[in-house]
Amino acid sequence: MKAKNLFFICVILLFSGSVLTCSNSGDQDPYIKKMEKNKGNVFHGRSYGNKFLPDTPYGYELWSEIADVSDGNKNRLIWYGPKYGGGGAFRAEWNNAKVFLGRVGLFWNAGKPYSHYNNTFCDFKFTRSENGTAGYTSYIGVYGWSKSPMIEWYIVEDWFEPGAIGPVRIGGNAEKMGEFTVDGSVYFIYKAVRPAGVGNILGVYEPFPQFFSVRQNTRQSGTISVSEHFKEWEKAGLKLGTNMYEAKFLVEAGSGSGWLDVSRLSFYQKQEK
């Protein structure tokens, strides 16, 4: 149908009281196009343990305070499929979830330390909802856990509130342990301790440590030299466990309603020269 004829049909229906959404398919939102091709890759509720994404080396995890799908599936993760954006590209959406974590990336849990995996890198590019849509405690970056001992860790590239992330936002007991430069920015290193009774990968209720690298000039695309952070933490006296559990690209929202759209995401590893 020619655009001119479509225009006149839309005008006639509008004045007749009918409802019709008219658009030129050539101007269609790229997100809508991706959704049409990937209708089966929508996840919501909670995923306990890693769920692998077919035809990729990646897994995903999704957790929200509100797990029931009766909320209209507004807390969800949409994976765009193995052929789009490096195989890990995804979109996360939350709606008053209280706490929401959506992530895609590498799942190891093979009893090996980080040094076993050579040098790990993450290429990424994303857009997101505006500041104030994810609450005060919010993080975007690479995230994971180790076991033996259990440690939760973050490499923070961006967040949803203006101003610098520091001990107050990470946790009142956070301590700055140092700083270093990599990937074009200074990162501050923090250590915090989560109190007893907080959820974790082992399901135990004892306190556990958190390690943070916080980028001092935020960005929405680039390459993260993941292993360099592990090495710098170790220099600062923060040693990860001997079993690396995972390394995934994460959005964590403390509250609010918003979205993160990761149009490019891939992890790869190189041997040290």
Q: Please state whether 57 falls in left (phi above 0), alpha (psi between -120 and 50) or beta.
A: alpha
Structure tokens at 224: 């993260």
Claim to verify: residue 24 and residue 42 sit in the same structural domain:
no
Can you give the pLDDT at residue 12? 32
- 24 plus 43 within the same structural domain: no
Residue 101: predicted pLDDT: 93
- The reply to whether 10 and 98 lie within a common domain is no
Position 61 in a domain: yes
**DSSP 3-state assignment of 88?**
coil
Domain assignment of residue 145, yes or no: yes
Per the annotation, the verdict on 234 as an active-site residue is no
Alpha helix (H) ranges present in the chain?
3-15, 30-37, 167-170, 226-235
Q: Is residue 33 part of a domain?
A: no
Q: Are residues 20 and 146 in the same domain?
A: no
One domain for residues 129 and 207: yes
Same-domain status, 19 and 60: no
- Residue 212 domain-assigned? yes
Angle 24-80-27 (CA atoms, 0-180°, nearest 5)?
10
Reduced to 3 states, what is the DSSP secondary structure of residue 12? helix
* pLDDT at residue number 136: 78
- Using CA atoms, how far residue 251 sits from 13, 25, 45, 72, 109, in Å, is 43, 31, 16, 20, 21
**Do 67 and 175 belong to one domain?**
yes
Q: Which residue ranges of the chain lie beneath pLDDT 70?
A: 1-40, 48-49, 66-73, 272-273
Residues 6+ apart with CB under 8 A from 9: 20, 22
Check which CATH number belongs to the domain holding 167 and give it: 2.60.120.180
User: CA nearest 226: which of 200, 250, 207?
Assistant: 250
Going by C-alpha positions, the residue among 217, 204, 221, 213 that lies closest to residue 238 is 213
Same domain, 1 and 79: no
> Among 92, 46, 91, 83, which Cα is nearest to 67's?
46
Tokens standing for 198? 């907080």
Q: What is the model's pTM?
A: 0.84
DSSP state of 207: -
Claim to verify: residue 206 and residue 246 sit in the same structural domain: yes
Closest by alpha carbon to 244, among 227, 232, 259, 228?
Answer: 227
Q: b/e map of 173-204 (b: 16 or more CB within 10 Å)?
A: ebeebeebebbebebbbbbbebeeeeeebeee
In a domain, 65, yes or no: yes
Active site residue 206: no
43 with 21, same domain: the answer is no
- Domain assignment present for residue 102? The answer is yes
Q: pLDDT at position 5, please? A: 46
DSSP string covering 18-54: -------GGG--HHHHHHHH-TT-EEES---S-EEPT
Q: Which of 61, 152, 157, 232 is catalytic?
A: 152
Q: How many other β-carbons are positioned within 10 Å of the β-carbon of residue 73?
A: 13
Distance CA 198, CA 207 (A): 8
Question: In this structure, are 127 and 219 located in the same domain?
Answer: yes
Q: What is the pLDDT, as a whole number, of residue 41? A: 86
CA distances from 164 to 189, 200, 268 (A): 13, 26, 29
Number of domains in the chain: 2
DSSP 195: P
pLDDT at residue 148 in the model:
96
Q: Per the domain annotation, does 150 fall within a domain?
A: yes
Question: Whole domain around residue 99: which residue ranges?
Answer: 38-270
